[in-house]
Structure formats: C-alpha cells, structure tokens
Amino acid sequence: MSSKSRFFRAKVLFPLAVVLLAGCVQFMDRPYFTVEESGLNWISIRYYNYNRKPVQKLNMRLDGNGVGYLRQGTSSLVSNAFAADTKESSWRDMNETRIVMEREDVIPLFQMLVDNGLFLERHSKGESANTNESIFVTANIQNRTCGSGNDDVFESDPELAENLKSIIMMFYHPRPKNRR
C-alpha cells in the first residue's frame, strides 16, 4: 500500500467518517425535540373500534400546514385508499371530512406527541390490555420518522395510544345511522 493512500485514509476518510457517524448518533438518540413550524411535518393515525360489527375505522392525516382529512366508516377504503374489492358489502360506507387549521395550532398537537414519546423505540409487550380497539401511527416531524407498522400502539405504549386517540377524537363527528 502506498504512502499516499495511507495518508488519504488517515487524514481524509477517517475524520469524514467520524463526523458523519457523530451526526447520525446525535440525530438518532434524540427522541425528544422542539417542533418547529413546517409544511413538511405530518402525522397519520388509524383507529379501529371492534365493539361494532362491521369494524368501525377512522383514518386521520394532518400536515404541518394545518390541512388534513379524517376518513370514517367500515369500508376498506377508509384505511387503504388503493383498495380494489368493489364487491365488498361495505364498499360505499366511507365519509371523508377535510380538516383545516391554523399552522400555529398544529405545532402544540405535534409537540404533545413528541413529548409523550412518539419517537421512542417501542417493543410490543404481547397482548394488548385493550381488546376492543387498536391504534396505529406513522409520522414525519422535523425530518424524524416513526411508524408503528402492524404493531398496535395500545400494546407497546398505552399512554401514547390514549393521546393519539384523543387527537383523532377531536376531529371525529359520528354520523347517524341511515334508517330505512
């Protein structure tokens, strides 16, 4: 190995690697931070109530610019905008409400979730104590992302799950049943 390549590795690559890794470690180890206003921030919450048959679904997305939606109903379209089973008996049971808030009013909602551990690493504890409902979350705030995937937040963090439920219920207005 030539002395030029050793010099290049020792004087250029090593410090560059240290700087990059130090930045990543600091970024990953900070689950609590101050939320700043940004239209790029967003949160998506999916809530399922198993007390009713068919299962009542709520799907909410709220962006940092204050615009979002709340879908409700029993259709698979509520939680999957690309659902294709048009023969499903509850296919048409979906209602979408647009959410429009001031940008400044979104920041405290996002900050509450960050302060309650939205970005903490969670592990499923097995069975949920709450078997009548489940809640899932995905978020991107200040370029930090998290997602519960297929893990019910009630299983891994019941307190955070209640906070997520309270946010989605702020915008949920149940529809009366159609009586024919």
Q: Is 180 part of a structural domain of the chain?
A: no
Does one domain contain both 126 and 88? yes
Q: Is 35 part of a structural domain of the chain?
A: no
Q: Which domain holds residue 13?
A: 1-30
Least confident range of 2-6, 8-12, 93-97, 102-106: 8-12
In the chain, how many domains are there?
Answer: 2
Q: Taking a C-beta distance cutoff of 8 angstroms, is the pair 46, 58 a contact?
A: yes
Q: Is 176 part of a structural domain of the chain?
A: no
pLDDT confidence bin for 27, thresholds 50/70/90: very low
Q: Is 12 part of a structural domain of the chain?
A: yes
Q: Under 8 Å CB-to-CB from 11, ≥6 apart: which residues?
A: none
Q: Is 36 part of a structural domain of the chain?
A: no
Pick the residue with more confidence: 168 or 173? 168
Does one domain contain both 65 and 152? yes
Q: Is 178 part of a structural domain of the chain?
A: no
Q: Is 114 part of a structural domain of the chain?
A: yes
Task: Measure the CA–CA gap between 6 and 21, rounded to whole angstroms.
Answer: 21
For residue 124, pLDDT over 80 is answered with no
Structure confidence by residue, pLDDT tens digits, 41-77 = 999 999 999 988 888 999 999 999 999 999 999 998 9
Does one domain contain both 108 and 142? yes
pLDDT confidence bin for 31, thresholds 50/70/90: confident
Does one domain contain both 22 and 68? no
For residue 87, pLDDT over 50 is answered with yes
For residue 25, pLDDT over 50 is answered with no
Does one domain contain both 69 and 115? yes
Listed residue (116, 115, 112, 103) closest to 62, CA to CA: 103
Listed residue (102, 105, 107) closest to 142, CA to CA: 107
- The residue type at 7: F
Tokens of 116: 């309650």
Does one domain contain both 76 and 22? no
Q: Does the predicted model carry a pTM greater than 0.85?
A: no
Q: Is 14 part of a structural domain of the chain?
A: yes
